[in-house]
Structure 1
């Protein structure tokens, strides 16, 4: 089995993550998602098999969020069955209503603290490894007006979380995040490179970068006759500041293929 041996440190937090991380939207919700094909939420046995495959392939990072439906709850219940040193990144600020299929956002300090308290309970952890603010696109307002990153910094000081940051949607938001936090999660692929300056700044500051939508939520891989997965991995991993690329698959064959191509890109 191909194995991801590399571990990338996150700032000075003591955390080191694999170059690929497992996104878990699809284990928690199937409404209001942007994937090219429909899918069925896997059962517990299928999720455990996939997580074990990921672990045995060298992946140690799981990405989740309250907005991913039942993802946090299921991870909390399933991961305690097998002792693995998973690093879990969750988020705060976006909330998903399973009945309506709609999200709402609340970045007040009270809401963020309540969300993080709930994540500690649902994930069944004494502390959270990574918490990112789940932006609605108004990055600067979230940071400057609501003080969301300051809330995370305070909880980091209290020992609730080990690393903090923001899943941003603007260059300004990404740069502000790197000033105040450990990680910026940005979008970056062959068809979208508008946030490259955030990645370059992270390299200068020795901060972490998580890549979301590396394959355009599956659209880049599906809509090309060429090996777009390999081409995108080659392109993304050429950036030394990239800590981890989050892949959101529930297909064991896709996972195996992604690991193989990531290793090839990292050589």
Structure 2
């Protein structure tokens, strides 16, 4: 387990990403899939926690994901670190983006209700790719800082898409979420810079949205000592358990 700054939050090297339990439209995965039913999603989420995976990552852009987490495991809220996002929503088959102060506040309120919790452990800016514009020309960072100071959020950061955006976020972020895998190491320098700044790094798409071999990909990402956690999704508990066991060979859990 590694700590997230001074927040008191501790996370395992492998977290569970919940995209696939909530959305299957306009996706980047190579193969189509059916959404699991509510009962199946509940069994999966509880099994993930029972395994010892205490980092659950979601977002309003993940369709039904937040509400399914709220229904399935809100009664176990003290057992896991909850990460969600602001800036993007997915409704009626398409994404909309709102990085305004009012939009961020509304998004946080909706997430608190959907997830059935009084506090969001981690809230990340869900970038549309225009990282620098979002950070420099909107009030989103100041708004998140205010919500953190008021106790609605414990840690804030950027889930961005550009190296320059990630570097810019190091000035204020409690953590970063970046893409990093065998076929794209462009953020490697930022991972090192984040470590120098004492900023934890979560890796997304470490398996390139299901295009890379899980074992080799997990070993590659977690062999970088400056990566705090790798987020891996899926709908098959046995597959996730295999990934968990692979992570345990690289890192102590």
TM-score (structure 1 length as normaliser): 0.90
- Counterparts of 2:43 and 2:71 in 1: how far apart (Å)? 14
Aligned mates of 1:9, 1:200 — CA distance in 2: 17
Q: How far does residue 81 in structure 1 lie from its aligned partner after superposition?
A: 4.5
1:130-169 residue pairs with structure 2 within 5 A?
A: 130-169=122-161
- Answer whether contact 1:189 1:215 (CA < 8 A) is retained: yes
Q: How far apart are 1:29 and its partner, in Å?
A: 1.1
Among candidates 71, 74, 78, match of residue 77 of structure 1:
71
> Where does residue 221 of structure 2 map in the other structure?
236
CA RMSD of aligned residues (A): 1.4
Question: Per-residue displacement from partner, 1:99-132 (whole Å, max 9, x unpaired)?
Answer: 2x21111101110111011111111111111000
Query: What corresponds to 1:49 in structure 2?
Result: 43
Q: Which runs of 5+ in 2 are unaligned?
A: none
Partner of 1:199: 191
CA distance in 2, matches of 1:154, 1:56: 34
Report what 1:224 is aligned to.
Answer: none
2: CA distance, partners of 1:88 / 1:82 = 11
How far, CA to CA, are the matches of 1:235 and 1:26 in structure 2? 23
Provide the residue aligned with 2:242 in structure 1. 257
Number of residues of Structure 1 aligned to a counterpart in Structure 2: 252
After TM superposition, list the pairs within 5 Å mapping 1:1-267 onto structure 2. 7-82=1-76, 85-97=79-91, 99=92, 101-221=93-213, 229-266=214-251
1:208-233 deviation per Cα after TM superposition (whole angstroms, max 9, x unaligned)? 11100000110113xxxxxxx22222
Query: How many angstroms does 1:188 deviate by?
Result: 0.4
- Shift of residue 84 of structure 1? 5.0
Structure 1 stretches lacking a partner, 5+ long: 1-6, 222-228
CA distance in 1, matches of 2:157, 2:77: 27
Query: Mean alpha-carbon deviation: is it higher for 173-182 or for 82-91?
Result: 82-91
1:1-24 deviation digits (Å, cap 9, x = unpaired): xxxxxx111111111111111111
Q: Secondary structure at the match of 1:218?
A: coil
Which segments of structure 1 move beyond 6 Å, counting only runs of 4 or more? Answer: none
Q: Could you say what secondary structure the match of 2:211 adopts?
A: helix
**Contact 1:203 1:240 survives alignment (8 Å):** no
CA deviation map 1:139-195 (0-9, x unaligned): 011001103222111111111100000101011111111210111100001110001
